[in-house]
Amino acid sequence: MSWAEIYHDSFSNILKNIKKVRGAIVGFNTNIDAIIDFHSEQILNLIKKIGVDPVRLYTNILKWKGKIHSPVDFITGLCGCFEKGKASEWLIESEETYQYLLQNLPPPKKIQLGGQAGIIANLYAELGVRQIFVHTTTLPKLMRELFSKKKNIQIPLYNKEGELVFLHPRKVKDFDESLYFHIISEVHKGDTLKLGEKLYWKCPRDNRFIATFDPPNAELEILEAFQRDIEVLAEKSDLLILSGFHMLNVKKLGKEGVNQKIIKTLELITRAKKANPNLLVHLELASTKNRLLLDRLYYYSSKDTYWNSLGCNERELVELLEAIKQKRLANEIKADMFTNYELIIKGALKVCEKLKLERLHLHLFGCYLLFVSKDYPIPEVLLFKTLCFASLIAAHKAITGKAKGVFKFKEIIDTIDIDATLPKAFKKVNNLLKKIETYVSYKDFDLNEYTILAVPTIIVQDPIQTVGLGDTISAAALIAELTYRQLLF
């Protein structure tokens, strides 16, 4: 069967039967994204306004600080993402710097609901999942209006009588209305930034840099209804997706504070799984510069089987490998991030083993990789379709700038010859997997416990939007899998 045929077969059954999934719980970070379309001229103007020397700027990029204390740090992160073709998110440590950026950056081209929880909740609402229980720490008027109008999206709360109720975000009152914007700077493939006669960069891919100042999400305060009645939510759902640990303010909380936040979350997962043993629990990673966060998350997660599934890109995989004491492998991948797929596969298998995962979804540019345990209940032929479905959802969002409305998947497939335009990443990964299948003990690969699947993705030229695509990909593949589970069992 050709890839075009698999793509054509990938969505009809899923969309038709998605309501068979009883529900999904998504938390914790919901926020508002301000998306800025950055071009080289605007970046140069900002460099001049901030007054940073090009040589110092390049030195800062090599150090790759990962935090924003000043406007210089912001322009360092933005230029680093421009030059390297890598996506990254840095936390703004100073409110003064946050206010400076709001006043001096170009106006946003778009304001939208953001955060893994917000993005996934809106996607599931539009796809028609029966009920979505979404977590948020704040709910200003602008955020309420950015939630999907679909009635299937709900926030669990308590009314004045203390009864658990489920309200659409647009109908919620008396909630924290703090308003913070996550600044998403998008850069474009082929754009050239010239800083001097011998110092210029050509952006290798469409990409983004995220600068975040969001004190409520940095506290990771969990809604009372999620804490007191997680069992009720779990009994109504088939899926629990969590993210937002990267937002924790380590400086303010300290090591013990971080420990308590993670332990509290894992206790919630234990209670949810006890109430519903069939609940699939997924961790969606985000770029996490603070090693302590990932170290603590891994340390406590490894004590029991909390996570069934994990989603990440190659950079997030590297950060996690560092946390699980695989620093040498992490450094080897960093040195050849976008071409050495053998090392990336090796790293993913290490993570699967250490966290005892049933599945790991690694979304690369041009190729999605899925690692599943040997006894995984869904046949490979269907898993390929779930990944192609996720690729179509991501392509739709890249083309239209949103994951809603009429999903014209056939039009997307018919505009390209998928089999004739296989991405380079997929070709390399596919050839490598064929070699591994032939020699099971090939180097350090241990395939006794896991099966590896790869699909070619649809690469959209000149996308309207890149932010949130990773979360969208992971969430779409998960809900497609759960749909098939309901059909099979």
For residues 273-287, average pLDDT: 96
Other CB atoms closer than 10 Å to residue 57's CB: what's the count?
18
Are residue 237 and residue 340 in the same domain, yes or no?
Answer: yes
The domain tally of the chain equals 2
Angle at 90 between CA 476 and CA 391, to 5 degrees: 20
Q: Who has greater pLDDT, 441 or 346?
A: 346
| Whether 143 and 89 share a structural domain | no
Q: For residue range 29-65, list pLDDT tens digits in order.
A: 999 999 999 999 999 999 999 999 888 888 888 888 8
Q: How confident is the model at residue 445 (pLDDT cuts 50, 70, 90)?
A: low
Task: Cite the DSSP H helix spans in 276-379.
Answer: 291-301, 314-323, 327-335, 341-355
Cα gap 380→1, rounded to integer Å: 13
Q: What is the pTM of this model?
A: 0.93
Q: Which of 467, 473, 472, 475 is nearest to 182 (CA)?
A: 467
Closest C-alpha among 139, 126, 28, 142 to residue 402: 126
Output the pLDDT for position 17: 97
Please report the pLDDT score of residue 65 as a whole number.
Answer: 80
Judge whether 369 and 339 are in contact, CB under 8 Å: no
- Strand, coil or helix: 471: helix
Burial of 50 (0-12, 13-18, 19+ CB in 10 A): middle
d(C-alpha 25, C-alpha 479), whole Å: 12
Q: What is the reported pLDDT for 39?
A: 95
N-to-C CA span, the chain: 26
- Rounded percentage of the chain residues whose pLDDT exceeds 70: 98
Burial 66-95 (b: 16+ CB within 10 A, else e): bebebbbbbbbbbbbbbbbbbbbbbbbbee
Average pLDDT over residues 387-411: 89
Q: Are 124 and 243 in a shared domain? A: yes
CA dist 132 and 128 (Å) reads 10
Residue 289 predicted with pLDDT over 60: yes
pLDDT at 441: 41
Same domain for 168 and 184?
Answer: no
Quote the distance between the C-alpha of residue 93 and its chain's center: 22
49 DSSP assignment = H
Residues 56 and 116 in one domain: no
Same domain? 8 vs 83: no
Of 191, 212, 233, the last residue of a domain is: 212
Q: What average pLDDT score do residues 417-445 get?
A: 78
Together in a domain, 356 and 400: yes
Band (442; pLDDT cuts 50, 70, 90): very low
Six token digits for residue 86:
């890598």
Average confidence (pLDDT) over 208-231: 94
* CATH number of the structural domain spanning residue 48: 3.30.1110.20
Say whether both 202 and 315 belong to one domain: no
Lowest mean pLDDT among 267-271, 397-401, 423-427: 397-401
Are residues 347 and 253 both part of a single domain? yes
CATH of the domain at 414: 3.40.1190.20
How many CB atoms are located within 10 Å of the residue 440 CB?
Answer: 10
What is residue 440's predicted lDDT score, i.e. its pLDDT?
41
**Whether residue 47 sits in one domain with residue 157:** no
pLDDT tens digits along 14-25? 999 999 999 999
Q: CA quadruple 100, 106, 111, 112: dihedral positive or negative?
A: negative
Lowest mean pLDDT among 58-72, 111-125, 173-187, 343-357: 58-72
User: Cα–Cα distance between 378 and 19 in angstroms, integer?
Assistant: 18
For residue 190, give its domain range. Answer: 39-105+180-212
The rounded Cα 450 to chain-centroid distance in angstroms is: 23
* pLDDT at site 283: 98
Question: Helix, strand or coil for residue 299?
Answer: helix
Structure tokens, 307: 């996570």
Instruction: Give the range among 132-141, 360-369, 404-413, 472-481 with minimum mean pLDDT.
Output: 404-413
Which of the four pLDDT bands, split at 50, 70 and 90, describes residue 241? very high
What mean pLDDT do residues 205-212 have? 92
Query: Are residues 280 and 375 both part of a single domain?
Result: yes
Q: How confident is the model at residue 407 (pLDDT cuts 50, 70, 90)?
A: confident
Q: Which residue has the tokens 């479905």?
A: 389
52 and 90 share one domain: yes
